Structure formats: structure tokens, C-alpha cells
Chain A
Amino acid sequence: MAVVDYLSPTSVADAVKCLAGSPHPAKVLAGGTDLIIQSKGKYDSPLIVVDVKKIGSMVSAELTDDALILGPSMPCAELTAREDIKSVFPGLVEAAFLIGSTQVQGRASVGGNLCNASPAGDTIPALIANAAQCVIAGPNGERTVPVESFVTGVGKNCMTQGELLVSIRIPRPAAGSSDAYLRFIPRTEMDIAVAGAGVAVTLDSTGKCTAARVAIGAVAPTALLVPEAAAALVGSTVDDASLAAAAAAATAASNPITDRRGTAEYRRHVVGVLVKRAAAIAAQRARSVK
């Protein structure tokens, strides 16, 4: 892909026109931390980039009484500096904080991480745990897709040419809720997840878990929602026995590959451990937000 033209529409409608009416394959440019690398040094086919960062709603975030409306292209560095968002979705913000270096954080975005659709994308399990909805605009209007159905395979998402992810809508959780995201990497910083886990829980005033969502990453072609792991937590006080059952359910749901970052067997085990720990952290946070 060689970049042969650069367009910078200032409205969603114009962006959709640029994407749908392009004579060559067109790709959305958000932070460019994946796209620019993918396009470098390859001159086999022409590519048009459509920079969506001049559209205000793509790069801003609004936390209302009902939901977080996240502009998909907002740089992670801006998101992680938002204390209001962090206080409601600490797990999502910690997932965004794990992407790359300070320099990469200055450009990379949650929407870019999601659209790039790497099995190891850190924000994807955190978004799934929080029941995020993807609002997609296209030549035929808008549609909304639950985030767990957005990614369809390794590097693939559900959008067709001409469509654009215009916002990520995350419902504000009920009182007594919180979330957490953990990943395992062999280093302390700047690496790609060997396995990851995002967990969101709601606890009632007695400390009993009334709702939960568990998602795992880097252990299947796409991040997975694991209802069996959530079911193991619901009705419990998120005690050791329910955490162990959630871990076992996550291990059973995983379908990892062996590569240089870890064997399938190792990943199956580690993802269970991460679910257990992330659920314990989310529950601890939920207890303290009440």
C-alpha cells in the first residue's frame, strides 16, 4: 500500500463520502501507529488515507449521566488524563495506558486499537467487559454493533468500504460497579499481550455480585466474551471459590495458538489467572466506589 492521496474531511458525512467514493482503496487515518507502519515501503497498491482527526466528535469524549461517548480517534494520552472517565472506567483507562510508549500514546487511540483488530489489542477486552456499543456511519446511514461482534477475525472488523466507526458508546454502569484490565507480558513495559483479561462487576450493598462481564484477549483469533466466567461470579461475594470457577471457565473458553510469545498451554493457564486477578481488583474497586 503506497499512500497516494491524503484527505481530511471535517464532517462525518464528508468522511463517508471520501471513503465510499474513493477510486482506490481508502483507509481511515487516526493515530497512524498501525496504518503508517503498514503502508511504509510497500508500493504494490495505491492507498488513499482519510484523516478523521479534523472531525471534532472523533477526537473528543463526553461523559454524560447515561454513557461515555468516546471519540474513537482521541489519543490515548488525552483519554488517560481524563480523571472523570478514569473514576468510572478505571479498567478501560488502564488498558488504554498499556498501549505502546509515551510517544505512541500521543497518537494511538482506542478506536484505532479496535479497528486494527489484533487478537492482542489491549482495549478490546476492556471494551467488551464494559458492554461498549460501536456506532458506525456509512452510505446507508448509521448502525450500532455490540463491540464483541465488531471484530470478526485477525485484523478484520465488521465494517465495509465506506463505513466509519464514529463513536464508541459505553453505558454508565449501575451503582456499585467497577472494572479492571490485566495483561501478561514478559517485560515490564511496551510489549504485546501474551494473554489479557477485562472484567466488570456490579456488587449490591451486601457485597454480592449482581452482574458481571468477563472478556479475554490474545487467546483466540478475536477477544472473547465469556458468559460462563461471568456466571461463576454472579450471586457470589467474589470469593476464592467463585474466582477459581471464573478462571476455569476462561481457560476452557480460550483457544490460543503457540507462537514465540507463549505456548497454547501456557496461555490457557495464564488467561485464567488474569481473569481471577482482574475480577478481584474490579470487585475491590466496586466495594470502594459505593
Chain B
Amino acid sequence: MTMKHVNTSVNGEAVEFLCEPHETLLDVLRNRLSLTGTKEGCGSGDCGACSVTVNGRLVCSCLVLGVEADGKEIATIEGVEDHGHLNVIQEKFLEHAALQCGICTPGFIVATRALLAENPDPTEEEARYFLAGNLCRCTGYDKIIRAVMDAAETIRGGA
């Protein structure tokens, strides 16, 4: 198998890597770039734990080939923090206890960021539908939605 040489940007930094053609972006992030914040829940596009954005668009990194990252801008959970501090969405997840085991959390936070970039004032129903591709087996979703709605309100208030 020929290795592929890929030039990309991850969280605003230029990154170069070699990968095999069958490796997914999720494999590359975790195994080649040591960015293990992005999680694998299912590997088949069903759980959203592997959510990242590619050129600003929310996708499952388990359904993107690593080579497809060439020339693109990738954003992962590692880039969410705000100058060494938790960002508002992360803080609200803590405040509302919107996580238990935590494996779904990076995906939820990346997806919430994408939701609020597109729709800063979502209704609860809009938030629930947007996040329907992120599964959580622990919290029962209620606390997650409360955290998302509170984060949206806080960001709108400029706090």
C-alpha cells in the first residue's frame, strides 16, 4: 500500500502527515497526530462521538478518509478552548453536570459549537434535532440540552 502525503490545517496550525489510503480522519487524528480528544463510539456514523468540522462543516471523522483532509481546515475539540481557559460551552457542560462517563462530551461540544455558529438563538427543539446525531448513554440528554441552551444565552449576552 502506498502511503499518502497530506498537508492540512488542524485547529489553525499547518500539519503534515503520512497515512494509508484506508485510514479515516479519526484514525489519523488519534493515532498519528495524538489528538485523542476526538472519540470513537461506533465507527459507522451513528453516534457523533467523533464529530469534527472540515472547512467549518460538522462531520463524523470516522466517515472521512484521512487523505481527504488535504488542503482542508480541520477543527477538533482540542481547538475549542479559549486561550488556556475552558470556553463557554465547556463551562456550561460542567456547570449543568451534562456528562457522566464523558465519552460523548467532545462530540457534543464540537457539535454545539457548530450549532451556535449557524443559529445563535436555537429553540430547544432545534437544538435537540441538530444534536440528534450525538448519542449519550449516560445523561438522558436533559442536562446536555440545558447546558446548550444556557451556553447559547450566555454567548448572545456577550458574557
Contacts and interface: CB of A to CB of B under 8 A. Distances in A.
Interface of A: 2-6, 8, 29, 31-33, 36-37, 39-40, 49, 51, 53, 75, 77, 100-104, 106-107, 189-190
B64 A103 contact: no
Nearest to B52: A103
Contacts of A49: 21, 65
Nearest to A7: B21
B57 A104 contact: no
B65 A103 contact: no
Contact of B44 (A2, A37, A75, A77): A37
Interface in B25-62: 43-45, 48, 51, 54, 57-60, 62
A190 B45 CA distance: 11
Given A29-B65, A51-B68, A104 B45 contact: yes
Contact of B24 (A36, A51, A104): A36
Contacts of B134: 101
Contacts of B64: 32, 36, 107
B4 to A, nearest CB: 6
Interface in B119-154: 129-134
Contacts of B51: 103
A6 B51 CA distance: 23
A77 B67 CA distance: 22
A36 B62 CA distance: 8
Residue from A5, A8, A75 with most neighbouring chain B CB atoms (10 Å):
A5
Given A36-B64, A40-B43, 5 more contacts: A32-B63, A36-B24, A102-B130, A104-B63, A107-B60
Contacts of A4: 1, 21-22
